């Protein structure tokens, strides 16, 4: 969500026509839908419960074909060469899909897709159009909050007969999306608010980092660990109290009003005020999410609850402040360079975690060895972290060389 204002404002500043920007948004949505369908079909374990060399090779071929299809091509190549590479990629991809066979014997189907990317495709389009429509309105915040209120009303009425239930379940083309997917705007729209503040941050003088400000940066990380552990263990009340106390401490540390009206001096200057605004929004969304915690049986990701949407949004704001202090103000690059570069190339990591690392390990025999020595739950978690690090490294390596998968 935060990337929407950053990307679209750059295009507006270049003088791109609004119609051209809208077409680009729709094109991106279509490509994301295709990506959701394609990456699901090139996953080895979708092809077979016990993948062999054939499945591994098809998965690798499918992964490699993503680059001529979607990667940024070198500017030194001629237009004809670029078009030929694009055509080669698309023809190859359709050949992979045409020869696909699932483990149940079925062939290609548009209904077989990666649900996370499919949802992203839907809200990337709607979130971008909402930002474009509200960006210049004096009451832009009221419009965006009003959209969230309307979505919440639909969610409340989804099980009751009426037009609200009909609209919530409306899906002219189910394999592309449903109105139901738009509930993830509960995360995207808060993200656009963060993005608008980041645009202002870029134009403001940034405050000098201090010891106390480093403490505030640490709070974002501590808060995430606290809520992950506390809510998983169902220590709801003590976790909520501790989270709110830490949030209040962070607010005061960034220059907000403390006891007896006292303030910290860390928020002086426009840059400091923007940090405080971001953190304040984090407190706002987190408080709403924690208040919603008992609703829908407690916080959970699947099926996502209102508490999940708002708690994760609040934590995202606070972690954003932590990273801004550490990277933009503290000039820390070592240790976060991998995260930054991977964030520039997320589609590589997303596709590679299923269609790059497992095929290579499977064909070399490393997969069975690694699984044997990581059979316990904790070692299994380390195995997952290791696989994630591998695909992140690949994505970062390519990003540093300007090879980015883009929709």
Tens digit of each residue's pLDDT (9 = 90 or more) over 82-139: 899 999 999 999 999 999 998 888 889 999 999 999 999 999 999 999 999 998 877 8
The whole-angstrom separation of Cα 19 and Cα 299 is: 40
Structural Rg of the chain based on CA atoms: 23
The predicted-structure confidence for 187-210, as pLDDT tens digits, reads as follows 999 999 999 988 888 776 666 666
Nearest to 217 by CA among 321, 335, 311, 331: 321
CB atoms within 10 A of CB 75: 7
Which range, of 148-157, 235-244, 393-402, averages the lowest pLDDT? 393-402
Task: Tell me what the mean pLDDT of segment 29-36 comes to.
Answer: 94
| Tokens describing residue 13 | 């500043």
How far, in Å, CA of 158 to CA of 110, rounded?
A: 26
pLDDT at 307 over 90: yes
Average of pLDDT values for 67-75? Answer: 86
Distance, CA of 18 to CA of 92 (rounded, Å)? 34
**What is the average per-residue pLDDT within 233-249?**
92
Q: 406: Cβ–Cβ under 8 A, 6 or more apart, which residues?
A: 70, 71, 72, 347
Check whether 266 has a pLDDT greater than 70: no
Query: What local confidence, expressed as pLDDT, does residue 375 receive?
Result: 83
For 348, phi then psi, to 5°, come to -65, -50
pLDDT band at residue 259, thresholds of 50, 70 and 90?
Answer: very low
Report, as an integer, the average pLDDT of 27-51.
92
Q: What is the pLDDT of residue 255?
A: 73
| Global pTM value | 0.86
Classified as helix, coil or strand, 73 is coil
Q: Give the helix, strand, coil percentages of the chain, each rounded to 5.
A: 75, 0, 25
Average pLDDT over residues 263-288: 76
The pLDDT > 90 percentage for the chain reads: 39
Residue 314, number of CB atoms within 10 A of its CB: 26
Residue 261, by phi and psi: left (phi above 0), alpha (psi -120 to 50) or beta? left
Mean pLDDT of 137-144: 86
- Between CA 303 and CA 280 the distance in angstroms is 28
Average pLDDT over residues 342-355: 87
pLDDT at 261 over 70: no
**Residues whose CB falls within 8 Å of the CB of residue 99, separated by 6 or more in sequence, listed in order:** 58
State yes or no: pLDDT of 349 exceeds 90. no
The CA-atom distances, in angstroms, between 403 and each of 3, 33, 74, 210 are 19, 21, 8, 37
Assess whether pLDDT exceeds 80 at residue 332: no
Beta-carbon count within 10 A of 175 CB: 14
Contacts 24+ apart (CB under 8 A), 152-158: 152/186, 152/306, 154/179, 155/183, 155/306
Whether 366 has a pLDDT exceeding 90, the answer reads no
The whole-angstrom distance between residue 311's C-alpha and the CA centroid of its chain comes to: 15
Instruction: Give the model's confidence band at 258: pLDDT under 50 very low, under 70 low, under 90 confident, else very high.
Output: very low
Of the candidates 280, 213, 275, 272, the one whose C-alpha atom is nearest the C-alpha of residue 247 is 280
The C-alpha atoms of residue 118 and residue 73 are separated, in whole angstroms, by 25
| Residue 362 predicted with pLDDT over 80 | yes
What does the chain come to in residues?
A: 407
How far is residue 126's CA from residue 134's CA, in Å, rounded to a whole number? 12
User: Is the per-residue pLDDT at 268 higher than 60?
Assistant: no
Residues with Cβ within 8 Å of residue 288, at least 6 apart in sequence: 310, 314
Structure tokens at 269: 């200057």
Rounded Cα distance, 245 and 242, in Å: 5
Contact by Cβ (8 Å): 361, 59: no
Mean pLDDT of the chain: 86
**Within 10 Å of residue 345's Cβ, how many Cβ atoms?**
23
- What's the pLDDT score for residue 274? 84
Q: Residue 137 in 3-state DSSP?
A: coil
Question: 372: which residues sit within 8 A by CB, 6+ positions away?
Answer: none
Tell me how far apart the alpha carbons of residues 104 and 126 are, in angstroms, rounded to a whole number: 35
Contact 351, 391 (CB under 8 A): no
The answer to whether the beta carbons of residues 89 and 67 sit under 8 Å apart is: yes
């Amino acid at each position: 969500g935060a990337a929407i204002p950053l990307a679209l404002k750059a295009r507006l500043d270049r003088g791109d026509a609004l119609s051209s920007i809208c077409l680009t948004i729709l094109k991106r949505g279509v490509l994301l839908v295709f990506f959701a369908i394609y990456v699901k079909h090139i996953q080895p374990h979708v092809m077979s419960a016990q993948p062999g060399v054939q499945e591994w090779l098809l998965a690798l071929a499918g992964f490699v074909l993503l680059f001529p299809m979607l990667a940024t091509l070198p500017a030194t190549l001629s237009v004809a060469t670029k078009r030929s590479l694009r055509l080669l990629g698309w023809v190859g991809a359709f050949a992979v899909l045409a020869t696909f066979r699932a483990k149940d014997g079925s062939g290609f189907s548009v209904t077989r897709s990666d649900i996370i990317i499919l949802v992203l495709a839907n809200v990337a389009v709607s979130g971008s159009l909402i930002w474009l429509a509200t960006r210049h309105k004096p009451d832009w915040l009221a419009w965006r909050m009003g959209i969230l209120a309307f979505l919440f009303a639909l969610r409340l009425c989804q099980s009751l007969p009426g037009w609200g239930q009909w609209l919530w379940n409306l899906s002219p083309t189910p394999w592309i999306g449903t109105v139901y997917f738009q509930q993830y705007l509960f995360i995207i729209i808060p993200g656009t608010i963060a993005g608008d503040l980041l645009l202002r941050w870029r134009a403001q003088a940034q405050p000098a980092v201090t010891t106390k400000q480093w403490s505030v940066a640490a709070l974002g990380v501590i808060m995430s660990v606290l809520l992950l552990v506390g809510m998983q263990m169902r220590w709801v009340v003590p976790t909520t109290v501790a989270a709110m106390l830490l949030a209040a401490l962070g607010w005061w540390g960034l220059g907000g009003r403390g006891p007896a009206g006292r303030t910290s001096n860390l928020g002086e200057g426009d840059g400091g005020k923007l940090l405080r605004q971001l953190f304040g929004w984090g407190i706002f969304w987190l408080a709403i999410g924690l208040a919603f915690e008992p609703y829908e049986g407690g916080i959970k990701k699947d099926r996502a609850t209102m508490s999940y949407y708002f708690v994760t949004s609040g934590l995202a704001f606070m972690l954003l402040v932590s990273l801004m202090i550490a990277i933009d103000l503290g000039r820390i690059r070592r240790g976060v360079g991998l995260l930054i570069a991977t964030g520039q190339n997320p589609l590589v990591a997303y596709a590679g975690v299923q269609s790059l690392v497992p095929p290579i390990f499977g064909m070399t025999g490393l997969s069975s060895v690694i699984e044997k020595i990581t059979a316990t739950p904790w070692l299994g978690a380390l195995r997952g972290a290791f696989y994630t690090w591998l695909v992140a490294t690949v994505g970062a390596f390519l990003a540093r060389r300007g090879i980015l998968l883009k929709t």
